[in-house]
Amino acid sequence: MAGDYPLLRYSVRRILQAVPLVFWVIIINFTIIHLAPGDPAIYLASVTEATPEAYAELRKEFGLDKPLYVQMGIYLWKLLHLDLGYSTWHNSPVLGVIIDRLPATMLLMATAFSIASLMGVVLGVIASRYSYSVGDHLATLASLAGYSMPIFWLGQLLILFFALYLDWLPSQGMYSMRGVEPGWPAVLDVLKHLLLPAITYATYHMTLVFRITRGKMQETLAQDFILTAKSKGLNERRVLYRHALRNALLPVVTVIGINFAYVMAGSVFTETVFGWPGMGRLIFESITARDYPMILGIFLVVSMMIMLANLITDILYALIDPRVAYN
């Protein structure tokens, strides 16, 4: 049945192959997190200035008094039943907390990711067209700067300039706290809040896409079939976008896909700087609170998202490149 859908069969197989990988990810995360200094009981006890007995009670409640392998077994057993556990800080099922935070991250990420990919590719194509011109050198320099600039720093710079100095945009958060009507004004309000974090978030990624697109475009433009395309009398735009870009895009797509992991990492910084109520900040807060089940749950969800992103990358690659067979 699936034989008629090679893509589907391929996807299913890839997902099945990922299962043992996810298992190892869980084991490793679990071990690392539990070996790191501190634990949720210590944190809770310290913020509440609890007594030693209270601390012991907390440890018992969180199951931290059991040997590590027992704790891991319990965790895996629960996981088999699709139970990600209970957040020690939020005191809610982990999955629920993640689902609460996911839309905000998705909004930010989808926006930033599309801005970055689109702008990166377009700028990369333009730069490749004007290879080694002054503009190209400047763009390359700027992209290097963008690439090496810490997100924290860039975010703060943008906040200082656009939010504080020019006072055009809100400095943080996702909503205005005062006087926003529901409906379109509320949507607009979210978009206003989205702009700066999306740009910050997009910058690192965009510079990367830019540099790769530019390089791959230069390589592709030197290839023979470009000469054929030009000899057909196609104008330059067609040659660039229809012939060169489609070929150069293959490695770019791979890079975008592989970078998804970094994009997730970038969300931690961006969301923290901009007070964006998404998963990135949830990670930050959960690590601060040593909220083991929460951290593990997020890592699990994130690794699955990364694997999914890689799968989508491969499928996209196959769709763009007719030479790829699913085997």
Partner 1 sequence: MNANAENRNGLLRVSDLRTYLDVPSGVIKAVDGVSLEVNRKEAVALVGESGSGKSMTALTIIRLQPVVARILSGEILLNDVDLLTLDTASMCDLRGTEIAMVFQDPMTYLNPVMRAGAQVAEVVLEHQEVSKGEARSQVLDAFERVGIPSPQRVYDSYPHQLSGGMRQRVLIAMAISCRPSLLIADEPTTALDVTIQAQIMDLLAHLREELQNALFLITHDIGLVAEHCDRIYIMYAGQIVEHADTFTLFAEPKHPYTEGLLRSTLSPDKRVEVFETIEGQVPNPTDMPSGCRFHPRCPHVKDVCREESPPSLDLGEGRMVACWLYE
Partner 2 sequence: MERRKVRFGSAAIFLVLAAVLVLTHIPGSAWAQKRGGTLVIGLEADPGHFNLIVKPGTTVQVPAVNIYNKLITLDFDLNPKPELAKSWEVKDGGKTLVFHLRKGVKFHDGKEMTSEDVKFSLEKCLPYNPRSRVFWKPVAEKVEAPDKYTIVVRLKKPFAPLLTVMGVIFGGPAIYPKHLWKDHVGSRKAFLNAPYSKKPVGTGPFMLKEYKKGSHVRLVRNPNYWNAPKPYADELVIRFVSDANTRLIALEKGEIDYLRAALIPWDQAARLKKNPKLVVLDKGGEATGQVEFMLLNMRRPITGNVKVRQAIAYALDKNQISQLATGGTAKVADGIMHSAMKWAHKGSFAQYKQDLKMANRLLDEAGYPMRGGKRFSLTVTWAKGRGFEGLAAEVIKQQLKKVGIDIKIESFDRAATLKKVYINHDFDIMMQFFTTGPDPKISVTRVYDRNNIGSANFNNAPSYINVGVQRLLDAEWQIPDVKKRGAAWRQIVDMVAADAPVIPLFETPFVHTHSAKWADVVTRPYCAYCTREDAYQK
177 binds, among partner 1, partner 2, none (CB under 5 to 8 A by kind): partner 2
Q: Please state the closest distance from residue 128 (CB atom) to partner 2, in A.
A: 38
Cβ(288)–Cβ(88) under 8 Å?
Answer: no
Report the alpha-carbon distance of residue 182 to residue 180 in Å, rounded.
Answer: 6
> To 10 degrees, the CA torsion angle through 49, 51, 54, 56?
120
Give the residue, chosen from 229, 304, 308, 312, that forms a contact with partner 1 under the rule CB under 8 A.
229
* Contact residues for 260 (Cβ-Cβ < 8 A; gap 6+): 305, 306, 309, 310, 313
- Site for partner 1 (CB under 8 A): which residue of 1, 81, 224, 327? 224
Residue with tokens 């996981």: 79
The widest CA-to-CA distance across the chain, in whole angstroms, is 83
* Interacting partner of 281 out of partner 1, partner 2, none (Cβ under 5 to 8 A depending on kind): partner 2
Contacts of 64 (CB under 8 A, 6+ apart): 39, 40, 41, 71
Residue 235 touches partner 1, criterion: CB under 8 A: yes
Which positions from 238 to 277 touch partner 1 by CB under 8 A, shown as an x/- string?
A: x---xx--xx--x---------------------------
Question: CB-wise, 257 or 277, nearer to partner 2?
Answer: 277
Given 3, 16, 178, 231, the residue binding partner 1 (CB under 8 A): 231
Tokens 């978009």 found at: 191
134 makes contact with partner 1 (CB under 8 A): no
CB atoms within 10 A of CB 58: 21
Binding site for partner 2 (CB under 8 A): 44-45, 47-51, 54, 57-58, 61, 87, 89-92, 97, 100-101, 104, 156, 159-160, 163-164, 167, 170-178, 272-275, 277-278, 281-282, 284-285, 288-289
Q: Find out whether 297 and 88 touch, Cβ atoms under 8 Å.
A: no
> Shortest approach of partner 1 to residue 246 CB, angstroms?
5
List interacting residues with partner 1 (CB under 8 A): 223-225, 227-236, 238, 242-243, 246-247, 250, 320-323
